[in-house]
Amino acid sequence: MKRGWPGDKRATVNSPANITDPLVLFMPSGKRGRFPVGTPVLDAARQLGVYVESVCGGRATCGRCQIEVQEGNFAKHKIVSSNDHISPKGAKEERYERVRGLPERRRLSCSAQILGDLVVDVPQDTVINAQTIRKDADTRVIARDSAIHMCYVEIEEPDMHNPSGDLDRLKIALMKDWGLKSLDFDFHLLPQVQGILRKGNWTATAAIHKDAESETPRVISLWPGLKNEAYGLACDIGSTTIAMHLVSLLSGRVAASSGTSNPQIRFGEDLMSRVSYVMMNPDGREGMTVAVREAISGLVDKVCAEGNVQRNDILDSVFVGNPIMHHLFLGIDPTELGGAPFALAVSGAVHIKASDIGLKLNQGARLYMLPCIAGHVGADAAAVTLSEGPHRQDEMMLIVDVGTNAEIVLGNRHRVVAASSPTGPAFEGAEISGGQRAAPGAIERVRIDPDTLEPKYRVIGSELWSDEPGFLDSVQATGVTGICGSGIIEVVAEMYLAGIISEDGVIDGSLGARSPRVVANGRTFSYVLKEGEPKITITQTDIRAIQLAKAALYAGTKLLMEKQHTEHVDRIHFAGAFGSFIDPKYAMVLGLIPDCDLDKVSAVGNAAGAGARMALLNRGYRREIEETVSRIEKIETALEPKFQEHFVYAMALPNKVDPFPKLSAAVKLPPRKTVSEDGVAGDAAPRRRSREGHAARRGRE
| Domains of the chain, earliest start first | 23-126 (3.10.20.30), 148-224 (3.10.20.880), 231-369 (3.30.420.480), 388-439+487-670 (no CATH)
User: How far is residue 459's CA from residue 474's CA, in Å, rounded to a whole number?
Assistant: 10
Q: If we measure between CA atoms, which residue out of 23, 44, 45 comes closest to residue 34?
A: 23
The count of residues in the chain is 701
End-to-end CA distance of the chain: 52
- Distances in Å between the Cα of 508 and the Cα atoms of 52, 468, 496 are 66, 29, 10
For 383-444, what is the HEC assignment? HHHHHHCHHHCCCCEEEEECCCCEEEEEECCCCEEEEEECCCCHHHCCCCCCECCCCCCEEE
Gyration radius from the chain CA atoms: 30
pLDDT of 127: 33
Residues (pLDDT < 50) of the chain are 1-4, 7-15, 125-140, 685-701
Per-residue pLDDT at 121: 84
Phi, psi of 383 (to 5 degrees): -65, -40
Q: What is the pLDDT of residue 566?
A: 95
* CB proximity list for 136: less than 8 A, separation 6 or greater: 604, 605, 606, 610
Burial class, 516, CB count within 10 angstroms (exposed 0-12 / middle 13-18 / buried 19+): exposed
Separation in Å, CA 486 to CA 483, 491, 607, 664? 8, 9, 19, 22
Half-sphere exposure of 568 toward its Cβ, with a 13 Å CA cutoff?
13
Q: Are 69 and 79 in contact (CB under 8 A)?
A: no
CA 608, distance to chain mean position in Å, is 3
Alpha-carbon dihedral 692, 588, 433, 440, rounded to 10 degrees: -170
38/544 Cα distance (integer angstroms):
74
- The DSSP 8-state label assigned to residue 468 in this structure reads S
Give the per-residue pLDDT at 7: 45
Tell me the three state secondary structure of residue 445.
strand
Q: What is the pLDDT of residue 78?
A: 81
Inter-helix orientation angle 379-388/323-330, to 10°: 120
Judged by phi (left if over 0) then psi (alpha if -120 to 50, else beta), residue 509 lies in alpha
What pLDDT was estimated at residue 47?
84
Q: What is the pTM of this model?
A: 0.80
Three-state SS for 348-393 is CCEEEEHHHHCCCCCCCCEEEECCCCECCECHHHHHHHHHHCHHHC
Please, how many CA atoms are within 13 Å of residue 417, restricted to the half-sphere of its CB? 16
Q: Tell me the backbone φ, ψ of residue 175, rounded to 5 degrees.
A: -70, -45
Distances (CA, A) of 592 to 549, 586, 694: 9, 9, 21
